[in-house]
Amino acid sequence: MSNLKLGVDVVGAHNLLPKDGEGSSSAFVELCFEGQKFRTTIKEKDLNPVWDESFYFNITDPANLHYLTLDAYVYNNVRAANSRTFLGKVSIHGNSFVPHTDAVVLHYPLEKRGIFSRVKGELGLKVYITDRNPSMKSSAPAESMPQGHQPGREKGERHTFHHLPNSSHHSHRHHHNAEASSAAAEVPTTHHVPKYVADEMRAASAEHQQQKLVRMYSASAGQPVDYALKETSPFLGGGRVVGGRVIHADKTASTYDLVERMFFLYVRVVKARDLPAMDVTGSVDPFVEVRIGNYRGITRHFNDRQNPEWNQVFAFSRERMQASTLEVVIKDKDLVKDDFIGVVRFDINEIPLRVPPDSPLAPEWYRLGDKKGDKVKGELMLAVWIGTQADEAFSDAWHSDAATPVDSSPAASTVIRSKVYHAPRLWYVRVNVVEAQDLFPSERTRFPDVYVKVQIGHQVLKTKTCQARTFNALWNEDLLFVAAEPFDDHLVISVEDRVAPGRDEIIGRVVLPLSAVEKRADDRIIHSRWFNLEKPVAVDVDQLKKEKFSSRIHLRVCLDGGYHVLDESTHYSSDLRPTAKQLWRPPVGLLELGILNAVGLHPMKTRDGRGTSDTFCVAKYGHKWVRTRTLIDNLSPKYNEQYTWEVFDPATVLTVGVFDNGQLGERGGKDLKIGKVRIRISTLETGRVYTHSYPLLVLHPTGLKKMGEIHLAIRFTCTSFANMLYQYGKPLLPKMHYVRPFSVMQLDMLRFQAVNIVALRLGRSEPPLRKEVVEYMSDADSHLWSMRKSKANFFRLMTVFSGLFAAGKWFTDICMWKNPITTVLVHVLYLMLACFPELILPTSFLYMFLIGVWNYRYRPRYPPHMNTKLSQAEAVHPDEMDEEFDTFPTSRSPDLVRMRYDRLRSVAGRIQTVVGDVATQGERFQALLSWRDPRATAVFITFCLVAAVVLFVTPVQVIAALAGFYVMRHPRFRYRTPSPPINFFRRLPARSDSML
């Protein structure tokens, strides 16, 4: 038997359902795992019981651990009847078991045992795998244990239970507060920061330790707990978040109230004057070094300048302050050793605190001193203050928590700063090539075979080849392109003659600047123009004089601003506004995002023989992209940065991605993706603060992998409720998408070009947002084939129709009289509706209203997240995963491609058969009246005539009642063979006879 054991700490439960008839319950928990059972003690008359008991199960075969399940049942003890009633259960799959060092207390929502069960509340458990040998008592069956027995509990081992404030267990709360106070006492005191700042940070830390709460959401989603969403209750800058509401709000934190407040010591080095000469030539090459303990930041240096000006800002995190004195030293750059010029020292306890909206602190001139403190020649202008991440200087500052010895060059310092990017405004360019005249080829003995090639930047499109019997050509084709403001590119139209296969000659070209092209915001007609074609090369002057007319082309060119340029996946669009600003509507709300921290990140690189990561986050919504600062060498980074967007349509999606910075050091590789999160705005309640920890799930060629978790705080505020409701009745896309729609092929091509343009433009920023980041955030490859996605979409379709299938099965059971009582009731209801058909629609709408009201109590309390089971990512075949990650075009061996091609043909053959069967049924309906089968059509039209006469003289209620009773007739009146109408329909001809 293995030495491994499964440890379960039953911490407590919250908000249980009262079951004793007196508004309370006497709860206990029964644990079941691999045939072993344990039971906790009974907590009398308590809806929020706390057990804090530990149990250990034997693991017989660790290899089968992933296929096992731990079940925790919560019961109410009925002492009078010596029985128990069910309060809820929790099932934890073996995939979620982690080592003891990684285990945390999680609060699982209680699940029902059956469809008619009624449960509520949560159960707090800590589940882990351990190899230690605790002093356990006998693992006797739970039914035979006394009520007060606590099997498997270790003496002296307790686990803190973070509960809600209304808990009634004062003794446990006292123990918890003591731990919180001891944790808060570890906050640095005035030895490192000013007293009032230290007091505020100590209070915030203590509150954070005391009130943090984690809830899991996984059972309803049907996926492992490790991949589930976690709801947290952190202490943010605005106060503590509980149940989506901020309580004990801090009035001073008005802008950064969705992140934990972080304190930084800011030093702005502005300029210096009257610096002394440091060499025999009388020159000085000054630079400034700002240092606190072992952390130091260095400005750029100037050559031979006694009055330099730097204007650089340095930020030192309070967590990295290692001294009580700040030193700002001016040095002279030298080849061997930098010379000391002077120093300015500050006592950190005397540095003032500045919190926006206060104006920036004015810099002052400070006299330089030598190492002993005596004044020397020269002055330095500085501004020193303590602030938070809400400070204006935060984004441009050099940060001590992002400092690294990997690369100290100025280029490296730019790629680690937080920035806000604005994607360019994109336009569709429509070029309608009508015709051309007087197209004379170089060989006058033949007529030209011409086509028109249109180019904008790297986008090239061609018309079909016109093989006319004259020197004129007619096309009338529309060519579509994507262009970005400002319009730097030109529109190049060239007419080319296909002289021979693979050999084309240019007859003439036209170059139009895009800035001069007419814009339109609707579908009005754009006036066409004739343009003279310019010769690409010089020709004989005498030949030009002989030509009476010059070649010219007829074009209709415009910039279409009535469309929304789709530069991201249509399923995850973050902006649906048209390009033309005059068509924009006022915003309906405000979206605020707080990027708090990330935990448990996987190492993405190796440095000094150990795995590490240099991570940053990117958030995209609309035209605004944001990038947090890069935190160097940190697998649990704390960002605490907050950003805001205007919301114009609730049916849009916010995307947040985590990346590893590949621009540091000498390798200069790609930014590696760690994971991303999508949040649809329409799923958020207005005014609520959502604080969740999202798992970062990424598909690799080896399968699904969790790369860590990202902790976010999100709030959607509605500025105009009427405008937001009005949006629900408006078309999703601008009007032009419905008036003059694009084909699917055109949309795919244009989206590919739009993503490339956005990536190129953002890559020219400083620091650049690289192409791989833009493509990953925009889901540029979502249209590529994937067997996994095909299966997932098929099962999604089956789930959508599962209600219809269930209703059909229920009706079949009614018709087969499996439950006579139910069938009789259905007959009575059907007879009522047949006699009073005016009640059908009111009854249907009232039924849907009651279903919606009933489902309100079960509404989702958290944003939807990526579901591994829905995505078919848990049991995907390795070859299918390798096919999904293959390049386009393929880079695999011919034998492997042949196998995949045969598999695709097999799958497509089944789809082809299903589509053909559906088409056959539709064609048989058409054959009823088409006289394809003259006898069948004659029979059907005769039936229609008789039915018309019968329905004319018979009340429709009688016909409906008789038809319903016939369909639901008893099985003894049924035949085992299909009915005559079905046989008649199946004998009708279809167009499948005409298929080759």
Flag whether pLDDT at 415 surpasses 70: yes
Map tokens 């051309």 to a residue: 436
The confidence score (pLDDT) of residue 12 equals 92
Contact (CB, 8 A) for 124 and 12: yes
Q: Could you tell me the two tokens for 706?
A: 């969790």
Helices (H), 135-191: 170-184
Q: Count how many residues are written for the chain.
A: 996
The confidence score (pLDDT) of residue 996 equals 67
Q: How many C-beta atoms surround the C-beta of residue 235 within 10 A?
A: 22
The confidence score (pLDDT) of residue 199 equals 46
Flag whether pLDDT at 144 surpasses 90: no
Flag whether pLDDT at 844 surpasses 80: yes
First to last CA, the chain: 66
Contact (CB, 8 A) for 723 and 586: yes
∠ CA(772), CA(775), CA(778), 5° rounding? 145
Residue 281 gets the label, from left (phi > 0), alpha (psi -120 to 50) or beta, of alpha
Instruction: Look at 356 and 32; give whichever has higher pLDDT.
Output: 32
Q: Is residue 429 within a helix (H) or strand (E), and if so which, with residue range?
A: strand 426-437
CA 313 vs CA 246, 327, 438, 641, 973: distances in Å: 33, 14, 67, 18, 91
Flag whether pLDDT at 717 surpasses 80: yes
Helices (H), 126-249: 170-184, 195-211
pLDDT in tens, 865-883: 777 777 777 777 777 777 7
Flag whether pLDDT at 218 surpasses 50: no
User: Edge-to-edge, what's the strand order for the sheet holding 5-14?
Assistant: 50-58, 5-14, 122-130, 106-109, 214-217, 229-232, 689-700, 703-718, 589-599, 638-647
Share of the chain above pLDDT 70, in %: 85
Flag whether pLDDT at 197 surpasses 50: no
User: Edge-to-edge, what's the strand order for the sheet holding 672-680?
Assistant: 419-422, 624-627, 615-621, 653-660, 672-680
Measured in degrees and rounded to the nearest 5, phi and psi for residue 722 equal -65, -45
Between CA 515 and CA 485 the distance in angstroms is: 9
Residues 6+ apart with CB under 8 A from 207: 235, 240, 248
Between CA 455 and CA 462 the distance in angstroms is: 9
889: preceding bond cis by omega (within 30 degrees): yes
Flag whether pLDDT at 617 surpasses 90: yes
Map tokens 């999604």 to a residue: 796
The confidence score (pLDDT) of residue 226 equals 72
pLDDT category, 56, cuts 50, 70, 90? very high
Coil, helix or strand at residue 815 = helix
Residues 6+ apart with CB under 8 A from 475: 433, 434, 435, 452, 463, 464, 466
The confidence score (pLDDT) of residue 546 equals 47
Q: Could you tell me the two tokens for 812?
A: 């079949």
Q: What is the 3-state secondary structure (H, E, C) of 321-387?
A: CCCCEEEEEEEECCCCCCEEEEEEEEEHHHCCECCCCCCCCCCEEEEEECCCCCEEEEEEEEEEEEE
The confidence score (pLDDT) of residue 27 equals 92
What amino acid occupies position 764? R
b/e map of 701-739 (b: 16 or more CB within 10 Å)?
eeebebbbbbbbbbbbebeeeeebeebeeeeebbbbbee
Sign of CA dihedral 568, 569, 575, 578: positive
Flag whether pLDDT at 314 surpasses 50: yes
pLDDT in tens, 430-448: 999 999 988 877 776 677 8
pLDDT in tens, 560-589: 999 999 988 878 899 999 998 888 888 999
Q: Could you tell me the two tokens for 87?
A: 């309060």
The confidence score (pLDDT) of residue 249 equals 56
Rounded average pLDDT over 534-547: 55
Contact (CB, 8 A) for 62 and 2: yes
Between CA 398 and CA 413 the distance in angstroms is: 7
Q: How many C-beta atoms surround the C-beta of residue 44 within 10 A?
A: 13
In DSSP terms, 313 is beta-bridged to 268
Between CA 819 and CA 783 the distance in angstroms is: 49
Flag whether pLDDT at 138 surpasses 60: no
Share of the chain above pLDDT 90, in %: 24
The confidence score (pLDDT) of residue 421 equals 92
pLDDT category, 183, cuts 50, 70, 90? very low
The confidence score (pLDDT) of residue 74 equals 93
What amino acid occupies position 815? C
For the chain, the average pLDDT equals 80
Between CA 409 and CA 664 the distance in angstroms is: 10
Q: Which long-range contacts (CB under 8 A, 24 or more apart) does 667-673 make?
A: 670/770, 670/772, 671/770, 671/772, 671/773, 672/604, 673/698, 673/772, 673/773, 673/776
Identify the CA nearest to 92 among candidates 68, 62, 120, 57.
68
Flag whether pLDDT at 209 surpasses 90: no
Identify the CA nearest to 76 among candidates 164, 13, 150.
13
Residue 433 gets the label, from left (phi > 0), alpha (psi -120 to 50) or beta, of beta
| Axis crossing angle, helix 956-967 with helix 820-835, rounded to the nearest 10 | 160
Sign of CA dihedral 967, 970, 971, 975: negative
Contact (CB, 8 A) for 693 and 709: yes
The confidence score (pLDDT) of residue 194 equals 46
Between CA 954 and CA 938 the distance in angstroms is: 24
Residues 6+ apart with CB under 8 A from 763: 769, 770, 771, 774
pLDDT in tens, 890-937: 788 888 888 888 888 888 887 888 888 888 888 888 888 888 888 888
The confidence score (pLDDT) of residue 555 equals 93
| Axis crossing angle, helix 894-927 with helix 787-800, rounded to the nearest 10 | 30
pLDDT in tens, 660-706: 988 876 556 788 999 999 999 998 989 889 999 999 988 877 778 88
The confidence score (pLDDT) of residue 557 equals 94
Flag whether pLDDT at 161 surpasses 50: no
pLDDT category, 137, cuts 50, 70, 90? very low
The confidence score (pLDDT) of residue 177 equals 40
Find the Cα–Cα–Cα–Cα dihedral 250, 252, 254, 259, rounded to 10°. Answer: -60
The confidence score (pLDDT) of residue 442 equals 72
Q: How many C-beta atoms surround the C-beta of residue 812 within 10 A?
A: 10
Instruction: Look at 531 and 440; give whichever has higher pLDDT.
Output: 531
Coil, helix or strand at residue 203 = helix
Q: How many C-beta atoms surround the C-beta of residue 989 within 10 A?
A: 15
The confidence score (pLDDT) of residue 413 equals 63
pLDDT in tens, 468-527: 677 888 899 999 999 999 888 899 999 988 887 878 888 888 999 998 899 998 888 889
The confidence score (pLDDT) of residue 168 equals 36
Q: pTM score > 0.85 for this model?
A: no
Rounded average pLDDT over 955-975: 81
The confidence score (pLDDT) of residue 560 equals 92
Measured in degrees and rounded to the nearest 5, phi and psi for residue 344 equal -125, 125
Q: How many C-beta atoms surround the C-beta of residue 75 within 10 A?
A: 21
H and E: helices and strands count for the chain: 17, 43
Flag whether pLDDT at 162 surpasses 50: no
Q: Could you tell me the two tokens for 829?
A: 């209801």
Q: Could you tell me the two tokens for 431?
A: 């070029």
Identify the CA nearest to 385 among candidates 359, 414, 424, 419.
359
Contact (CB, 8 A) for 644 and 596: no
Find the Cα–Cα–Cα–Cα dihedral 660, 664, 668, 672, rounded to 10°. Answer: 0
The confidence score (pLDDT) of residue 467 equals 75
